[in-house]
Amino acid sequence: IMRLHRPVLLCLAAALLSTFVTSYPHMWTKLILTHHWPATFCSVEHCHANISYWALHGLWPDKGVDCNVSWHFNSSLIEDLLSDMEKSWPDLRSPTSQKFWKYEWIKHGTCAAQAASLNSQHKYFSKALELYHKADLDGVLKKFDIRPSQKYYSFLQIERVLENFYGTKPKIQCVHPKNADFQVLGQIEICFNPDFTLLDCERQKTVEPLSRGERSQLLSAGTTSEFSVCDHDVPVYYPPL
């Protein structure tokens, strides 16, 4: 019987453990196309909202985070997409920066890349833009007269429009000001199967708490943790620019 020295055994064990740890979280089953409303986002993050349409926040697999931090973002690989990304997927806190896209690629794109259809930066970002334009959330809301306004909407009014149009259940998220008798529409998620067909989103009331370090990282990347599922019984404010 071949006998292995202890250092060799430790290396083999570490390699096996690494394989297990890095492969399991990558097995995602759902993609979440996330849109945020700039006026609401910037009211939370204290930025200047000069965009009056729903912007793309990200394309997120339901499992896995930072799956390959060594796979660095390279904007030269998506040069043909940059003009569309600047308009459709802007960094609302730093409009001239690419750090938001870098953050989204490392955190979510490297996990989505476990699928052959998304296994490059160009495939990931171009598919996100394609789904964003096909969903046309901004156009759908306007078509059914859900527009930014000083008046309030009922949650069910917004939910029914989206469910009837897409044929699936989106996740509609709001900001909940303290001691207010209304909630502010902020983020809408539309979900897809791995083959990019529409899928019901889970609508869970609870939001996993973030550590101080995670909160700081999110803020530096231009994202927010203030959104949570809207309350069905509270009027919804859809703020104009």
Contact 91, 100 (CB under 8 A): yes
208 has catalytic annotation:
no
Q: Decide the pairing of beta strands 198-199 and 236-237.
A: unpaired
C-alpha R_g of the chain: 20
214 has catalytic annotation:
no
Annotated active-site residue in 57, 130, 133, 208: 57
Distance of CA 150 to the CA centre of its chain: 27
Nearest in space to 166 (alpha carbons), one of 27, 35, 29: 35
Annotated active-site residue in 104, 208, 226, 232: 104
104 has catalytic annotation:
yes
Annotated active-site residue in 35, 108, 189, 226: 108
- The residues, any chain, with a CB within 8 Å of residue 101's CB and separated by 6 or more, are 73, 75, 85, 89, 91, 125
Distance of CA 180 to the CA centre of its chain: 27
As a whole number of angstroms, the distance between CA 221 and CA 99 comes to 6
User: Other C-beta atoms within 10 Å of 9: how many?
Assistant: 11
- C-alpha to C-alpha distances, 93 to 41, 54, 89, nearest whole angstrom: 9, 15, 12
As a whole number of angstroms, the distance between CA 85 and CA 128 comes to 10
Structure token digits, residue 135: 């969903």
Active site residues per annotation: 57, 104, 108
